[in-house]
Amino acid sequence: MQPDFEYEVFDIGVKVAALMTEEIIARRLPEPVEADQVMVPGRCRADLDQLSERFGVPFVRGPDELKDLPTYFGKAKRDADLSQYDIKIFAEIVDASALSVETLVMRAAELNEAGADVIDLAVFPIRRFRTWRRRSGHSTASATRSASTPRTPKSFCVAARRAPTIS
């Protein structure tokens, strides 16, 4: 989607737009500015009147989000297609070592049904943890043991495509 005007983008070296000040912009924007106007990110809190006066060209605040630029310039809004993704969704069961196996299985099934691909069972490192066996159809992503308490896992991830069977 090409706009019907020419533009140039200047990276002034500030990663967070809200931290851009008029002093930083004034020091880093190349002069002379040969443009009809200068747009800064919407979250930039610099004094635009001060910048306009210094550079002799109007400064305007654009949209907060880059994805909203086309709408800002009058183009029709297009919703993002979120149907395709290539990520794993993680969920966590906090203090899993204090829960019964039945409760863990129930919570894991709920999280899996809600879309979780990996379920992290978070435990206290000083608490003993039940014996877990991997069952067919489920894989263990990680099981880390503390050096001081070798039988107590610090974390235990169960990657499941369906509710895990744990005994």
In a domain, 4, yes or no: no
Q: Which pLDDT belongs to residue 92?
A: 92
In a domain, 77, yes or no: no
Which residues constitute the domain of residue 36?
17-72
pTM, entire model = 0.49
Chain Cα centroid distance, residue 93: 20
In a domain, 55, yes or no: yes
pLDDT, tens only, 109-131: 999 999 888 998 887 666 565 55
